[in-house]
Structure 1
Amino acid sequence: MITAQYHWNNHHVDQPTSAAQDLAHATRVSPIVAQILYNRGFKTAEAAQAFLHPGPEQLHDALLLHDMQKGMDRIEQAVSDDQQITIYGDYDADGVTSTAIMYETLSALGAKVNYYIPNRFTDGYGPNVAAFKKLIAAGTQLFVTVDNGVAGNDAIAAANEAGVDVVVTDHHELPEKLPDAYAIIHPRYPGAEYPFGGLSGAGVAFKVAQALRDEIPQDVLDLAAIGTVADLVPLVDENRVLVYFGLALLRQDDRPGIQALLKTAGIDPATITEQSIGFGIAPRLNALGRMEDATPAVELLTTLDENVAQQLAQQTETENRKRQQLVADISTAALAQAADEHHQHRQALIISGHDWHEGVLGIVASKVVEQTGKPTLVLNVAEDGHAKGSGRSVAAFNLFAALDGHRDLMTAFGGHHMAVGLTVPADNLDALADALDAEAVAQDLAAQGPSDVTVAATLPVPEATMDLYHDLLQLAPFGTDNPQPLFTFEPEAVTQVKAIGKTQDHLKFQLQTGTTRLNAIQFGAGDQAADLGAAQNVAVLGTLEDNVWQGRHSLQVMVKDLQTTSPAVVTLRTTQLHQAMFQAPGTYLFFHDNVYRQLAQQLPSDATAVLYTGQDLTPLAADQALYVVDCPDLTTDLTTALTQLKPTKITAYLYKKESLSRLGMPSRAEYAKLFKFVTTHQHVDVSHQLAQLSTFIQIPRTQLVFMIQVFFECGFISISHGIMDAVAQPAHKDLTTAPSYQLRLQQMQTEQDLLFCPSAALTQRLQRLIDLK
């Protein structure tokens, strides 16, 4: 059974209210789109039209940002006085695009400007005292930070002491104590009047460019769009405008670096979307900072040399592939650790390893959370005895609050509700794991259940059309606070289920209702192919996508979540029985007395053992599970028993220790060998000497027992108190007439029917017996 990872909160936009229908009429959109707009707060025609048709007039006055005028004056003074300006950036995609925007803007003003991208591993995030001092010694007379700075108190204090001003441009959470910077340009500065607080670092840099140039800097909209999408800030208001027009510029971008990057990434510029940024461009820019040094990313974005652009794009692609491989390798190890006996019962996880690249541990933590649903820290244990890494959480668990009260166990720590970074002495990992579990109890994580996800509507498969897809595109670009609408589908059947990809990581299938088929794909879910293929009732949650292959367009569902009802039939044919098979409540059906006597007393108190010997059986309760323990001798016995029990769910173990079909029938030569032995040896103690006899005449013991029984039934031998003797002058009799011989034939046919048929055929056979009830 596949359990949903999320709680699906259906808003039924396919049943629009009268207000939504009025909005649809006023804005000339479909009622479904109008209901989505209404649900997202665009309740008037004016608000909806502004959202549907972004325009430059929706950009706010840049001078409304706190300290914008002051910061702009200081930058202009530095340009006028030919002072060395250093842009101090960051190593992620938002940071490098912010740096590129500011660098190009100041260069165009004639500034003497350079930039510095801190190294993730040596400088850390934000202003670094040593880096500031080194840059000042090299001639920096003014720092302009981008995408960082509001937490750089020490470095900014050091700059002030050296007589160097710092203009901070940032968008991150403001600490209680702000640095003593010359200016702090921030969209959420306390008491400021800026209308929109959701700008990214690139967005703030864009606003500085807008103020300095006294116009909309259209030539850097492409960079602003990349930084905005990459940083997962709300894609509404001003950000929507930046991304909307930035995407238009990217589709015809003449930047050599962007062109080269798109080519190596296999992205067609003409079809670029916000998803192309989120899953193609941003990961590649991020890879440089995650792996080593992000400085080449700024060079790539700003170079005018096509040859340099191609070289840097190839370097970026190479680093991204290394990053992907590291993520895959570490994720495999991390997920295995998450499932081991030391971790599987914990509500929150601390996963650690040696020689794990610290630059990718946040991605790995996200993958573990996605697979397990548990808040997770992933750490690399270094030779110095410290473990360093990242953590990711779920909406129901405040990871920062959980760890904040245990700073005594850590040497460095920071973050927010959903993500943290930390350094811990390795000797403290067990104590921190226990503390994290205690915090999970304190926050009542177990009772929170899966996170809510907003579902637009449940769509019949035939109603998922290209027309609907194009209607929904009016809401794009999608992102935080403007998600792509999710729909649930409950098809009549799921077909063509298969795992795909080089390592079978991904899941592909078709939804079918009537004659309509709809392709679906879910990344990272290849291991669910068997369960999905066996499921009877399936619900799928996903978005509608345009799949383009060799120039042809087709609609498909990009699956976010799946759930199935418990399959009516589970086939687990086995040659070994384990205690774990007999832990669940239900009825356990046996066909052989020796197996029944061995296991009946080991069942749990809420389970019932039934030995079928041909008697009439009482139907089970409607919700009671049936477990078919061993394989019957006759297929008809199974059919009769199931018809009488009328189960609604069957788990078929069909245990048989040794296959008679594989052993086969004895040969004429083997029968002759045994006959010769019994006629030349009297008083053979077969009850104690069977093993020696098997070795002596070189016939497998199981086969030998069967042959002796056939001889006995045909009157060729006598057995009394375990002593075998030949019968003098026995009557001629055909061996095939012996009851044991006939039973063996029936048993072998039953094995073909039940044990050696394909799983799908057995499932169908048992399902038909359920349906007969």
Structure 2
Amino acid sequence: MQDNKYSWNKVKEKMPTDLLKKVIDETDLNEITARILYNRGLHDVEAFKSFLKDDPELIHDPYLMHDMDKAVNRIQTAVEKGEQILVYGDYDADGVTSTSIMYEALDQVGANVEYFVPDRFKDGYGPNLEEYRSFISYGVQLIITVDNGVAGEEAINYAQENDVDVIVTDHHELPEKLPNAYAIVHPRYPGSEYPFGGLSGVGVAFKVATALLEEIPEDYLDLYAIGTVADLVSMTDENRMLVKLGIQQLKVTQRPGLSALIKVAGIKLEGLDEQDIGFGIAPRLNALGRLSNANEAVELLTTLDEERATQLAEDIDKINQKRQGIVQEIYADAKVLALTEENQNKQTLVIAGHDWHKGVLGIVASRIVELTNKPTIVLSDENGDGIYKGSGRSIESFNLFKALNTKRADYESFGGHHMAVGISVKADKLEILDTTLEDAAIDEQLDYHVKPILKIDETLGNDEVSEQLINQIKQLGPFGTDNPIPVFEFERVILENIKEIGKNGGHLKFKFSQDGQKKSIDGIAFGRGELAESLPYISNDINIVGKLSLNEWQGNVSVQVLIDDLNVSGLQVIDRRTSNLNPDMFKESAEYIFFNEKLLKLLQNKIPNRTMNLYNDVTNLSKDATMVLVDCPTEVAQLKEVISNNQPEKIVTYFFRQVDYFAEGMPSRENFKQVFGLLNSGDIAKDSVSKISNSLRIEQNNVRFIINVFFELDFVKIENGLLSINRSASQHSLEEAPLYKQREQMIQTQGDLLYSSSADLTKLINNFLISE
């Protein structure tokens, strides 16, 4: 099995006993949830109370945001004069919810307003000069961008030069040179007094709507929740409160389109939460912009026609299914490129393909990052046009936008933030892009071998897990960036009923228990189905970490853990001991170690293209390699030699044997006497082993062994094809014969290696590792 994917970071600070008691007495929290919040920075009772209640004071004054007053005044002027207003949106879930809120707010105040969502493939991201020219020629007098605009200098400057004002509402990273817009409403504008910079595009649009309507527009909270969750912005401060209210709004939404979309997604309204948004609603809204035109997503969110809403929801669901298939195909190709020898030696990845669907390249980049732990850009041209468009995704410790922004002039288009970018480059600039990204990683001493950190909130025993605990943990949500779902560790678990589930066995399911704990709990590890083959054969201590969840099936509710990672302590010994070898056992890329040279040569001829060596020819084995011990050694010392010389992290034991000496045992002293007596009674043909066996009722292998021992001790001889006693032989004990010693050794070795329990075998092999 693979090593754990993450570096586990356990919370070590202990909550003071007196504070813990006060929190439990004055809130509804139990000890576990109280400790979680303490370790997330709440260090007095009032802070706990403030976190748990919906405090209106958390919702900040929209006029604290840069240019908000200027933007609102300009909009009010446009409404009064009946000017044609265009809401220029974006094609992702944050963009379409932003567009919907801005459009509905303007419509509510009587504006002459239309919306437009650019086509990802024709228009690209952000303000498009040709589209701006077209709209201006048709008489648009005010353009309001949502979830885009700060990187649209050319198009916005053109509009302003042609007496069309542009109000930018955006949340993305600000470039060094900003467009000459009439107003730029942005929560992180330099010098801005706005106290919270974590708004998404829909958050900024919501703030404009609040200022314009002079009250918090509660009817828009469902859209606020969707856009905020989808864009993975900070789930703290006012975001957490407004998303929480938005989720409640979603459960009773009056939007026919959202009701229909929730239905096709199979989401149960009563239990709807941010996970349903992130994995059910948002991907479907995103799918439109990835494969088609996202204007229909805005129509879905704003229509009052139930029949049209149902049709749109069904169409969007089909597009999402198509999107999933395309992602799988492109990921398979991109994965091959990511794992080439050249790319394996790099800290970052720029992967370019041909005619890959551009709408899903961000998803593919995310999966490559998950696979390699490297910041990754995935691009594609179209019909050999020489322009590569794509998306980049990063890891927490590497600011992708900052790394690429230094060469902005070399790109056709560029925008994004710390974790994600969109970019277009000409074919002859791909090398510059590759070098820029790799040099930035080297300058920052990035090391992809360093595993991403997984923060663990608490260590639990199985008996502490309950439906009540899970329901209380939900009070700490909505969860998201900066307020993650609590992660728990379960130590020294015993796994049972291990199996693959899902399409193509891609996921892992098992039950786990603990010594001294009554409860057995289901665990599910998505995307880890490959572990089902090795986990049943591991007897090392296993720790698991994951998130608590409730599973409802046919009216029954049970607790389960969604596994984030597993850790096998010490050397991983996968016990696959067998008395039969077959070619399927040599499919994996591994170091196959032999103790018997004849068997090695036989299998080398039958199974080519595999690394096979005798145990004493293997040194400095890579720690990443898997050591497969094919056959059983003659003595345990041979096993100790190959393990101590190489210090592997994972061993698979086949320990194949042609003869089971331990089962057969050593022929008894009486057997030796019987054979000697028969030979002493007269000469016997040397090929009469079967006759001797039948006469004395001793197994043929044992008869042959006894005779060979006699030969080594010079007790018998062959003359004229006949076996006879050597009358002149010196006296010797049986133990002096090399064959006798070897068999004694083999019996002992096979007893230790073939007949020991998995736990004892693992302990024995671990003892052979050199102590640090």
Secondary structure of the residue that 1:557 maps to in structure 2? Answer: strand
Change in 2 beyond 3 A, CA 1:767/1:633: farther
Query: CA separation in 2, counterparts of 1:163 and 1:731?
Result: 114
* AA aligned opposite 1:68: M
1:188 aligns with 2:188: yes
Secondary structure of the residue that 2:102 maps to in structure 1? Answer: helix
Change in 2 beyond 3 A, CA 1:484/1:341: same
Higher mean C-alpha displacement, 631-640 vs 494-503? 631-640
1:574 to partner: Cα distance: 4.6
Secondary structure of the residue that 2:174 maps to in structure 1? Answer: coil
1:732 to partner: Cα distance: 14
2:768 is matched with none
2:548 is matched with 544
1:513 aligns with 2:514: yes
1:272 aligns with 2:275: no
**What is the TM-score with the length of structure 1 in the denominator?**
0.78
Superposed CA deviations along residues 667-694 of structure 1, whole A, max 9, x for unmatched, are xxxxxxxxxxxxxxxxxxxxxxxxxxxx
Secondary structure of the residue that 2:184 maps to in structure 1? Answer: strand
* AA aligned opposite 1:529: A
Matches within 5 A, 1:164-563: 164-382=164-382, 383-404=384-405, 411-426=412-427, 433=434, 436-437=437-438, 439-446=440-447, 449-514=450-515, 515-536=518-539, 537-563=541-567
* AA aligned opposite 1:590: N
Change in 2 beyond 3 A, CA 1:409/1:97: closer
1:696 is matched with none
1:132 to partner: Cα distance: 1.0
User: Identity over the aligned pairs, expressed in percent?
Assistant: 44
Query: CA separation in 1, counterparts of 2:114 and 2:322?
Result: 29
1:680 is matched with none
Query: CA separation in 1, counterparts of 2:333 and 2:561?
Result: 30
Query: CA separation in 2, counterparts of 1:315 and 1:610?
Result: 55
Matches within 5 A, 1:610-759: 620=640, 624=644, 631-636=656-661, 713-714=687-688, 739=700
1:417 to partner: Cα distance: 3.7
Secondary structure of the residue that 2:548 maps to in structure 1? Answer: strand
1:531 to partner: Cα distance: 2.5
Query: CA separation in 2, counterparts of 1:148 and 1:613?
Result: 67
Higher mean C-alpha displacement, 312-321 vs 467-476? 467-476
Pick from 564, 568, 584 the counterpart of residue 564 of structure 1.
568
Secondary structure of the residue that 2:190 maps to in structure 1? Answer: coil
Higher mean C-alpha displacement, 97-106 vs 532-541? 532-541
Change in 2 beyond 3 A, CA 1:453/1:303: same
Higher mean C-alpha displacement, 229-238 vs 150-159? 150-159
Change in 2 beyond 3 A, CA 1:13/1:629: closer
Superposed CA deviations along residues 316-345 of structure 1, whole A, max 9, x for unmatched, are 111111111111221222223333444344
Pick from 601, 604, 617 the counterpart of residue 618 of structure 2.
604
Partners of 1:94 and 1:202 within 8 A in 2: yes
Secondary structure of the residue that 1:475 maps to in structure 2? Answer: coil
Superposed CA deviations along residues 467-487 of structure 1, whole A, max 9, x for unmatched, are 221221110111111111111
Change in 2 beyond 3 A, CA 1:189/1:601: closer
Partners of 1:591 and 1:612 within 8 A in 2: no
Higher mean C-alpha displacement, 312-321 vs 561-570? 561-570
Change in 2 beyond 3 A, CA 1:159/1:386: closer
1:410 to partner: Cα distance: 5.4
Partners of 2:538 and 2:758 within 8 A in 1: no
2:154 is matched with 154
Change in 2 beyond 3 A, CA 1:277/1:627: closer
Query: CA separation in 2, counterparts of 1:366 and 1:614?
Result: 50
Query: CA separation in 2, counterparts of 1:460 and 1:630?
Result: 37
Partners of 1:2 and 1:531 within 8 A in 2: no
1:651 is matched with none
Superposed CA deviations along residues 385-424 of structure 1, whole A, max 9, x for unmatched, are 3433222222234444554566687555444443233334
1:107 to partner: Cα distance: 1.0
Superposed CA deviations along residues 21-45 of structure 1, whole A, max 9, x for unmatched, are 4334333422322222233233333
Partners of 1:455 and 1:486 within 8 A in 2: yes
Query: CA separation in 1, counterparts of 2:755 and 2:100?
Result: 61
Q: Which runs of 5+ in 2 are unaligned?
A: 605-611, 622-626, 667-684, 706-752, 766-772
1:36 is matched with 36
Higher mean C-alpha displacement, 370-379 vs 6-15? 6-15
2:98 is matched with 98
* AA aligned opposite 2:173: E
* AA aligned opposite 1:469: I
Query: CA separation in 2, counterparts of 1:62 and 1:604?
Result: 69
Query: CA separation in 1, counterparts of 2:633 and 2:504?
Result: 48
Partners of 2:153 and 2:179 within 8 A in 1: yes
Change in 2 beyond 3 A, CA 1:346/1:638: farther
Superposed CA deviations along residues 587-635 of structure 1, whole A, max 9, x for unmatched, are 9643869869995597135699999997896894897378878743321
Pick from 585, 590, 594 the counterpart of residue 596 of structure 2.
590
* AA aligned opposite 2:455: T
Change in 2 beyond 3 A, CA 1:412/1:629: same
State the Cα RMSD in Å: 3.9
Query: CA separation in 2, counterparts of 1:419 and 1:613?
Result: 53
1:279 to partner: Cα distance: 0.7
Q: Which runs of 5+ in 1 are unaligned?
A: 642-710, 717-729, 745-760
Q: How many residues align?
A: 673
Query: CA separation in 2, counterparts of 1:172 and 1:765?
Result: 59
Change in 2 beyond 3 A, CA 1:266/1:610: closer
Change in 2 beyond 3 A, CA 1:594/1:280: closer
Higher mean C-alpha displacement, 462-471 vs 345-354? 345-354
Secondary structure of the residue that 2:572 maps to in structure 1? Answer: coil
Change in 2 beyond 3 A, CA 1:111/1:639: farther
* AA aligned opposite 1:395: E
Query: CA separation in 2, counterparts of 1:763 and 1:72?
Result: 81
Query: CA separation in 2, counterparts of 1:639 and 1:715?
Result: 18
Secondary structure of the residue that 1:559 maps to in structure 2? Answer: strand
* AA aligned opposite 1:571: R
* AA aligned opposite 1:534: Y
* AA aligned opposite 2:543: A
1:681 is matched with none
* AA aligned opposite 1:85: I
1:507 to partner: Cα distance: 1.3
Query: CA separation in 1, counterparts of 2:379 and 2:318?
Result: 25
Query: CA separation in 2, counterparts of 1:63 and 1:614?
Result: 82
Change in 2 beyond 3 A, CA 1:226/1:263: same
Secondary structure of the residue that 2:396 maps to in structure 1? Answer: coil
Partners of 1:590 and 1:629 within 8 A in 2: no
Change in 2 beyond 3 A, CA 1:254/1:622: same
Partners of 1:167 and 1:181 within 8 A in 2: yes
Query: CA separation in 1, counterparts of 2:154 and 2:531?
Result: 51
Change in 2 beyond 3 A, CA 1:496/1:162: same
